[in-house]
Amino acid sequence: MDSVAQRLSAVGAGAALELRGVTRLFGALAALTDVTITVRPGERRAVLGSNGAGKTTLFNCITGDFPPSSGTIRFFGEDVTHFPPYERIRRGLRRTYQISALFPGLTVQDNVYLACRGVSRGRFSFLRPGQNDALMSAADNLVQAVHLTGVKDQRVAELAHGQQRQLEIALALAGAPRFVLFDEPAAGLSPTERAELVEILTSLPAHIGYIIIEHDMDVALRVVESVTMMHNGRIFKEGLPQEIQSDPEVQELYLGGGHE
């Protein structure tokens, strides 16, 4: 780890997310090798890297979709390495998916309602939500926050791509998130929708930290305070956005190759 990373992780034990030597193998292929990352509560960080750098695998290890082959993961000090995904989510971790993972047969409102219900009591309730159901109004607020109120009674299968991406974010903000993993939230969005996305991300309450995987530098570097570069399943460089942008090695590896 270089000095910037040490500076950023100075809070030590108070870290929101702490990965130590996380490795993930798929057969003989190491998708992640010895990844060590510390993120402060409320910190906003971008993870950059070319395709196959291990960014999404990193997310899958953190949420438990694929548990790591070795290493430990701590979430707000608690060792969650062997927790199933739902236990991590109930502790305040959230994620979005690169390819929208929604419930196409249900309405927008029901999608968000499920997200609110998933992190509260009564998941097995046989009673329908009443007129004054608190989670139903929480779902209403979230639907409004991502500008989907107009289509809230439509089935998700009928939504446009941009609307599905916004719903994807709403699902990750249900309940009381403490830390969110955004996996390419801007993928396939129009410039207007990107601006809305930036607004949603920057107006999140300050205590909610996140890691964002994003290829669009205009989006990524406007909404984060630190950057981690990954390459071939390893941490390649960590630093402030401007340091990473001007780093010659990074330029050559990622920004240089005719990307912009």
Partner 1 sequence: MSLAHDARVTVRPAAAAQRPKLRGWPEINNPAAWIVAAILLIMPLIANGFFLIEIFATTLILGIMALSLMFLAGYGGMVSLMQLTIAGFSAYMVAVFGVSGNANISLGWPWWLAVPMALALATMFGTLGGALAVRTEGIYTIMITLAIGAAFYYFTNQNWAIFNGHTGINTVATPHFWGVNWRADIPFYYIVLAVAALCYFAVEYISRAPFGLALQGVRDNPRRMAALGFNVNAHRVAAYAFASFVAALAGVLQVWNYRQISPGSVSVGACIDILIIAVVGGITRPIGPFIGALIFVLLRTFALDFLVKLGLDGNRFRLLIGLGFLAIVFWSSDGVIGLWQSWRQRQRSGAARSSGRHGQGSGHG
- Applying CB under 8 A, the residues found at the interface with partner 1 are 63, 65, 84-86, 89-90, 92, 94-95, 97, 101-106, 109-110, 113-115, 117-129, 131, 133, 136-138, 140-142, 144-146, 149, 153, 158, 171, 173-178, 200, 203-205, 207-208
Q: How far apart are CA 30 and CA 61, in angstroms?
A: 13
6: helix, coil or strand? helix
Q: Least distance from C-beta 3 to partner 1, angstroms?
A: 32
Q: Least distance from C-beta 128 to partner 1, angstroms?
A: 5
Six token digits for residue 52? 């196959």
Q: How far apart are CA 167 and CA 187, in angstroms?
A: 13
Q: Least distance from C-beta 203 to partner 1, angstroms?
A: 6
Are the CB atoms for 116 and 142 separated by under 8 Å?
A: yes
Q: Which CB atom, from 22 or from 89, has the smaller least distance to partner 1?
A: 89
Q: Least distance from C-beta 41 to partner 1, angstroms?
A: 12
Six token digits for residue 245? 């942008």
Are the CB atoms for 160 and 170 separated by under 8 Å?
A: no
Q: Which residue in this structure is represented by tokens 């909610």?
A: 208
Beta strands in 149-197 (DSSP E): 179-183
Q: Least distance from C-beta 77 to partner 1, angstroms?
A: 14
Q: Which CB atom, from 35 or from 112, has the smaller least distance to partner 1?
A: 112
Q: Which CB atom, from 133 or from 243, has the smaller least distance to partner 1?
A: 133
Q: Which CB atom, from 168 or from 247, has the smaller least distance to partner 1?
A: 168
227: helix, coil or strand? strand
